[in-house]
Structure formats: C-alpha cells, structure tokens
Chain A
Amino acid sequence: MASDREVLREIWEGKLPVCFQLHSEEVYALQAPDPYYLMVPRLSYFPLVTDKVRKHFSRHIHPEKREAEMWLDFNGQPLKWHYPIGLLFDLQGSDASLPWNVTVHFDKFPEREILHCPCREVVESHFMSTLKEADALKHRGQVASSMQKKEHNQLWLGLQHDKFDQFWSVNRRLMEVGSSGGGSSSALSGSGDEAAFFRFVPFRCYVPNLEIPYRQRPIRPCAEDGRCRTLGDLLEELFPEEKGQTGKEVRVVTHGVEPPKEVPLQWLSEHLSYPDNFLHLVCHVIPVKRLPSMSASSSSPAHVSSE
C-alpha cells in the first residue's frame, strides 16, 4: 500500500493555469470575447472543468452553433479530452509559457482526430474502463471487479469533485499488492517476494511527434532474481534502439517533473499513477550534445512545474 501520502497529496494538488480563447474565425460579434482563465487540476479531464468556459463563449458564437460539441486545440493540434490534462500539457504544451493558451472551438469538430464527448457520462465510462484495464494488469482485474458499484462511484465522484480523501479511500485498494493472480499463476512463481509487487506495471509511454500514440508492454515491477526493477529498466526495454547508442538519451516527464531513472517501478506505479491507475510517461528522445564545452543538461529547456 502506498505509504508516502504526502507525495500522493502533492500529485493530487498539481494544477495548471489555462487561458481559453475563442477561435478568431468563430467570433460572431463586433468584438472578440475576453479570454477565460482557469486553474485546472492536472489529474482531471477537460470536459469536467470547462462548463464555465462553454457558457462564457457560447454567447459570442453563431446562434446555430451554441448546442454544438465544444473542442479545444493547442497550436492547431486538437486536444484529446480522454487524456488527463496534465498529460496533455506534458505532451504538447511543456515548451509553452504559462498560462497555457488553449483555443476553443464550436465548429468543424475534427471527428477523425478526437473522440466525441457528448456528455460527462462518456468521460466516466472512459475513466472507469481505463481503470479496470490497469487493474487487469496489476491484479488480473480482480480488485476492480470485486468492488461494489458504490465504490466505483466514489472513485469517479472523488475525481470529478476534486476530493482527495473520497478518491483515495477506495483507490488504496487498487494499489494493494499481494492479491494478484489468484495464487495460480505459474508465470509469477520464482519472481521473489510476490506479495510486494503488482503483476505488471500499468503504464503508457508517449513519444511526441510519433505516429503511434504511445508504447505499452507488459513489464513486471520485479526481476527474476527478486530485484526491484526501475524506471531505467523500463526505458531500456521500451527503447532498445537507444540502448548502446551513446548519442541519445530518453528523458521522462510526468506530472511536470522528471523522476530519476533509479526509482523502482513499483513505487512509481503506487505514487505517480494518474487516477485511472496508469502511469502516463512522456518520453523525449533527445540527442546528447557531446561538445566538450557544453553539457547536455544546461542546453535543454527547463521543465515547467505545476506550481
């Protein structure tokens, strides 16, 4: 069970200042409406926090578009509402200055690029199904499926209303170890202290500017010899092409911070997972500059934190 409660709290409280502006071509008035500023939780989803944004701008668009599905873009790139806000920022906006400038649209919904989101129930069902998927990896789905509807609601309401205690009183069960595999998994035997590890670590690695949205593998948090596997081990398995190539380095950003490569995967999964129980890791493959007078770290951009 997660014990570093302060870390959980810090992650939960991560927020991003966002400036919403109506797309200039959709302004149906003499003057463009004022931008709308919001401080949004990194762990939330845009459709859960943008009711007021919609209300603010809907008076300034063509009357026929007022009931249309609202969508957002950053730098011309439609934002996938089904990714947590913090992930979207780490993925697309981390070079941008704060507040994060996001453009609001009511017209020309890019249905080939992003999922439809007609109502909050769609967000809920997406969130719950991702959470169950994570539990399939961690505990063969046995924890999530043993929960009552009431507990599922508590997870969802906790996230939706930004209630840490409500969410974590149930989520802690999903972070428990030892109940995996129902005791009959031969694959798990011989992997050391089984009771201290998930079956697999639920994670997705996003590499910006690649056609494939993310990389995912079944990766165990513990090696054959019982040793804790680390973030560095995960990266080696996921980016074999970079292994041995000294010219490139993979840098991982999640929740606006860069976790050290030696952090054990089990700890990372218990503490830095998003509420959907997945680790969403943004991986930048960057060339290491080998010029003698310049170090790699000083030439790379500073990462914007959520504070």
Chain B
Amino acid sequence: MNGELSWEEFLVLMDDFLEISNGIGDGWALFGEKNVFGGAYAVKREERSGKSVENSNLNSDLEETNLEKILEDNSVVETEKNENKGRQFWEYHIVYSVSYSVPVLYFNAWRDSGELLTLEEIWNEIPPSMKPDAEDKYWSLISQQEHPLLGKPFFQIHPCQTANLISAIKGIAGERIFIPWLSTVGPLVNLSLSPLYASKNAKQIE
C-alpha cells in the first residue's frame, strides 16, 4: 500500500482533523489558501514554561549566556529552587509536501525575548521517554529548513520516511491517518495529542 496522499486527500483529512480539534478545543486552525495547490496548512500555538537550564547538558558557554540573560530579565522569569522557568512559545504547522505527497510537521520555539530556541535546546525540552535512543538519530531526523509557504526558517521533521509510516498506519487504522501520524511524530518535538482525539476519531470512523 502506498503512503502518498494527493493534495485533495490531504485537504479532506485536514478538515476532519480540524473539526475534531475544534470539538475538543485543541486550538488547531487553518491558514493559507485551500484553492492553491499545497497552499493551506494547520497551525497550533502553545505557551509553555521551559525546563531548568541547569538540567540541560548544553555546552558551558551557551549555558552561561542563557543564565545571564535570564538573570538579567527577572520580570519574565520566575526563579525558584535554582530552576529558571522561562516562558516559551511553541508553534506547530502541518504542511503538505509537494515532493513527497505527505503531511510534514514544521515547528519553532521562541523565548520571551523573541529569540529562537536552537535544536540543542529543543532536544533538551523533549521528555526523556520520547527521545529516540540515539541523539545523532535526532539530528538526522530534524533540521532547520525554509518553510515552503512562509519562506522563514522553521524546524522540520524530515518527510522522506513519512510515506512508509503512513502506509503502515493505513494497514492498521484505515484511511484516517492524520491522528495516528501526528501522535507518532508529535512527541518527538514536544507535541502530545490529547487522548480525546482517539475517541472522537473512533466515533467518526463508525
């Protein structure tokens, strides 16, 4: 079974997904233009507090700069028990890849200052249980790319294996692959899907 989706199939699946998201208030919204090939995408924004800087294994230079910055800017950072929880803004985009004919997850994370998190910093935000067994695998999976619709730098989960993943999912879950796909790749980038999706999705299939 082929895991590729046509643009039209992608749109149908995305509409389904957005309907469920609206139903459970998960905050995904449609951007762009549906009538342009590959031109529409789903966006979700989240505000989080970052993990402790000390716990991260960043190199010492970087750690120092971060600490200095955070300490300088007390208004936005609560300091408690040596733990600096900076506010972070995460943004996820589901975009259609014209070359691979699959959905692709793009994301970025910003600090309060507007500064982008580096991939090292993002790695440190991922819950340990969700991390791939080897860190270098992560680097080969995720890279900074130009967003195909915005032209701005975003991190991207590389789509070259997605068709295989989708074709495996289709074998189990049928044609509605959006939710199983997103719940597979999302945790890699700190995006977990509410269990409510599963029940709603099941209802829709019935």
Q: Which label, helix, strand, loop or mixed, suits the secondary structure of the A interface?
A: loop
Given contacts A133-B99, A212-B151, contact A141 B160 (CB under 8 A): yes
**Count of chain A residues with a beta carbon within 8 Å of a chain B beta carbon:** 25
Say yes or no: A136-B153 contact (C-beta < 8 A), given A82-B146, A115-B146: no
How many chain-B residues does the 8 Å CB contact rule pick out? 21
Contact A218 B101 (CB under 8 A): yes
Interchain CB contact under 8 A, B100 and A111: no
List residues of chain B with CB within 8 A of the CB of A211: 150-151
What are the interface flags for A9-52 relative to B under an 8 Å C-beta threshold, 1 for contact and 0 otherwise?
A: 00000000000000000000000000000000000000000000
Q: In the complex the two chains form, is B148's CB within 8 Å of A115's CB?
A: no
Cβ contact within 8 Å between A112 and B148: no
Residues of chain B within 8 A of A99, CB atoms compared: none
Q: How far is the CA of A228 from the CA of B158 in the complex (A)?
A: 33
A242 to chain B, nearest CB (A): 15
Question: Which residue of chain A lies nearest to B4 when distances are taken between CB atoms in the complex?
Answer: A140
For B153, list chain A residues within 8 Å (CB). Answer: 111-116
Closest partner residue, chain B, to A135 (CB atom) = B99
Closest to B98 in A: A216
Residue numbers in A under 8 Å from B148 (CB-CB):
213-214, 216
The residue on A at minimum CB distance from B153 is: A115
Provide the B19-59 mask, 1 if CB < 8 A to any CB of A, else 0. 00000000000000000011100000000000000000000
Whether A202 is near chain B, meaning CB under 8 Å from some CB there, is yes
Q: Does B116 contact A (CB under 8 A)?
A: yes
Contact B98–A213 (Cβ < 8 Å):
no
A213 and B99 contact, CB distance less than 8 A:
no
Contact with B along A204-244 (1 / 0, CB 8 A): 00000001111011100000000000000000000000000
* Residues in A whose Cβ lies below 8 Å from that of B152: 112-113
Asked if residues B99 and A137 are in contact (CB atoms below 8 Å), the reply is yes
Asked if B143 CB lies within 8 Å of chain A CBs, one says yes
Tell me if A105 counts as interface (CB < 8 A to partner B).
Answer: no
Residues of A within 8 A of B (CB): 80, 82, 111-116, 125-126, 129, 132-134, 136-137, 141, 202, 211-214, 216-218
13 contacts between A and B (CB under 8 A): A82-B146, A112-B153, A113-B152, A115-B145, A125-B143, A126-B143, A129-B160, A133-B99, A133-B100, A133-B160, A212-B151, A213-B146, A213-B149
Residues of chain B whose beta carbon lies under 8 Å from any beta carbon of chain A: 37-39, 98-101, 115-116, 143-146, 148-153, 158, 160
- Extra contacts besides A113-B153, A133-B99, A217-B38 (19): CB < 8 Å: A82-B146, A111-B153, A112-B152, A115-B153, A126-B145, A129-B143, A132-B160, A134-B99, A136-B99, A136-B100, A137-B99, A202-B99, A211-B150, A212-B149, A212-B151, A213-B146, A216-B98, A216-B148, A218-B101
